[in-house]
Amino acid sequence: MIVLWLLIALTAGALLEVAARLVARRSGRYALTPHARSEHALDRAELPSLPSTVRIEVNAEGERGGALPEGEQLWRALVIGGSAAECYMLDQEDTWPRALERDLQTEPGPLGGRAIHVGSVARSLLTCASLARMLGGILPRYRSLDLLITYAGASDVVAWMEQGAPPACRAQEVPELDLFPVGPDEAFGWTPGTLALRRLAVRATRRLLRPVERRSGVGGTVGRNRRMRAAATTLIDELPEAEGMLRHLEEEFRRLVTQARAHGAHVLVVGQPWLERAFAPEEEQLLWSFGRGRPFEGPVDTYYTHRVAHELLRRANEVQFRVAREVGAETLDLMDAVPMDFEHFYDDLHLTPQGAAVVGARIAQAVRELEASSEDSSASTR
């Protein structure tokens, strides 16, 4: 009898697990884990210009941002890009996507009378090829999307430099499960940690109880990377042949923009700014990007000069602007909008809260101009 009951229990458990896997695999793809919440205590010695504590909250849609407002009169924007759009070292309220949303809610302009939502699926180190894959995976879940804001290209330049600037750009290989932490491609097993039942229980806990994951000393690697660049034995000041990289960037960025427009969204291509100025010796110690090799994975002793890096970043922005003009998307160049100082940048590419506020306000202005132009165009065709 005991054996019989054991067999019944095992069979029932197996059937429940099979059912759980069917439910899990019916899920759409999410770029960020829905309902995830974390709180990071930053390394104050390395990042004194940033807030001591950073909150990151992901809504039910798998976006960093607030809950989607209810009602039919919703204007919805989505931000996609790399680390400078992700704003990982900034508190939720200090990120430029949140500053953009807040600015539009305060002064909606042509969007008056509509609920306004700006979500972000930006992720560090993702090139345009990976971002295009990401967008293609998540767009089917969006019944409507009014605007896609791209803030991309720098990761393509950085990743290519890390590869040693080869003539033929190698495509970034991001596993499906890394690109979509929740989705139908999740792998399951029969050990306790790999069961679909456990995954669904974790999701329910996140949704209902909203637990907060806490980490300390976040950002300490930035200091290590700064010291690594300061100790570099080789600085490359010769501009490498970049046509292969730029051609690959153009192809993948065009795919990214085309997908959004096919879904019915307007596209605003924002040229990412970077900190470009003559640096004092003590300011040089705050910079760490553009190495030949990946500083987060091991020692790097060879770096490209900022002159070379800035020229490549400029070319990457030019490629994106050209694609935008060809497909009918809007563009915004921010190089003259953000003051070139360490009050607005905390390193080569990333913004402080003050810098993010400037970027959010400038993009909000561009959005109002875009919406006003769209209204005028609609009125003229009636």
- Enter the pTM of the model: 0.94
Tell me which residue of 354, 355, 356, 352 sits closest to 47, measured CA to CA.
352
Asked which of 22-26, 153-157, 260-264 is least confident by mean pLDDT, the reply is: 22-26
Is the confidence at residue 267, as pLDDT, over 70? yes
Angle subtended by helix axes 243-262 and 154-162, to nearest 10: 140
Overall average pLDDT of the 72-92 stretch? 96
**In the chain, % of residues over pLDDT 90:** 77
Is the confidence at residue 382, as pLDDT, over 50? no
- The residue ranking higher by pLDDT, 181 or 20, is 181
Give 122's Cβ-side CA count (13 Å radius).
30
At 13, the pLDDT band (50, 70, 90 cuts) reads low
- Contact between 350 and 359 under an 8 Å Cβ cutoff? The reply is no
What per-residue confidence (pLDDT) applies to 352? 97
Beta bridge partners of 147: 77, 266
Is the confidence at residue 212, as pLDDT, over 50? yes
At 8, the pLDDT band (50, 70, 90 cuts) reads low
Angle subtended by helix axes 196-209 and 2-25, to nearest 10: 60
Is the confidence at residue 349, as pLDDT, over 70? yes
Q: What would the DSSP string read from start to end of 306-370?
A: HHHHHHHHHHHHHHHHHHHHHHT-EEEE-TTTS-SSTTTBSSSS-B-HHHHHHHHHHHHHHHHHH
Is the confidence at residue 15, as pLDDT, over 80? no
Average pLDDT value for the chain: 92
Instruction: Give the tens place of pLDDT for each residue, 87-133.
Output: 999 999 999 999 999 999 999 999 998 999 999 999 999 999 999 99
At 258, the pLDDT band (50, 70, 90 cuts) reads very high
What per-residue confidence (pLDDT) applies to 79? 98
Beta strands at 53-57 and 37-42: parallel, antiparallel or unpaired: antiparallel
